[in-house]
Structure 1
């Protein structure tokens, strides 16, 4: 049986990226260096931030090609988080909108990776 426990993003600067995510999520880095950095997303899942040129030495690895998603309790929490991220200057790629899976918006990290936030309508 496989256990999901890690998300890996290819980034231009792992130290800058871990600083961005640490501040955004309020969680400290557990590893931070020029080629690789890591922090917890939850008790069971880690976020790895790997220098794109090291992750794919062929030069085909490009920062900004992934999306990660976070759930919030309800639309009010989503609306507040959206306002907080706008105030912090995060690029908002998709303004809050209702989709079949819930109310959502999408921001971008410094490498252009999409950060989706969802207030699920599923029970």
Structure 2
């Protein structure tokens, strides 16, 4: 068994697709009115599924989540931060050194977060 796909339930598939396309620098591999799929290098798939179209229906409040993109060098954190900011992505935490490493965080239209991290060690 292996985990190779994450699906985020979103209210705005088009807005979230735009956010992830800019952040990942990848076009979606599949797009429909209620779903988009990204094939991320390394074999991971990222799906964006319109929340009110999920079967079986999602009950309860929205889910919060954070996806982490690891980079090898601190300058990559800075480069991606500057690029995402220039594209208009919402940066909710600028490049900051924390106990787990050097990172920044962007937030998509449904509150989903992408953290770029150069881990300590």
Shorter-chain TM-score bucket reads 0.7 to 0.9
Task: Give the match for residue 25 of structure 1.
Answer: 24
Deviations 1:36-85 (A, max 9, x none): 110112231100000011226355353x6211110112111111211111
TM-score with structure 1 setting the length: 0.85
Extract structure 1 runs of 4+ deviating beyond 4 A.
none
More moved, 50-59 vs 27-36: 50-59
Q: 2:42 — aligned with what?
A: 43
Cα distance change, pair 58–9 in 1 and its aligned pair in 2 (3 A): closer
Distance in 1 (alpha carbons) for counterparts of 2:10 and 2:58: 15
Tell me the CA shift for residue 86 of structure 1: 1.5
Partners of 1:70 and 1:117 within 8 A in 2: yes
Would you say 1:53 and 2:34 are equivalent positions? no
Task: After superposing the two structures, state which structure 1 stretch, 49-58 or 91-100, moved more.
Answer: 49-58
Alignment of 1:101-120 (within 5 A): 101-120=100-119
Question: 1:102, 1:118 → 2: CA distance?
Answer: 7
Q: Pick closer, same or farther for the CA change 1:115–1:58 going to 2, 3 Å.
A: closer
* Residue number in structure 1 paired with 2:12: 13
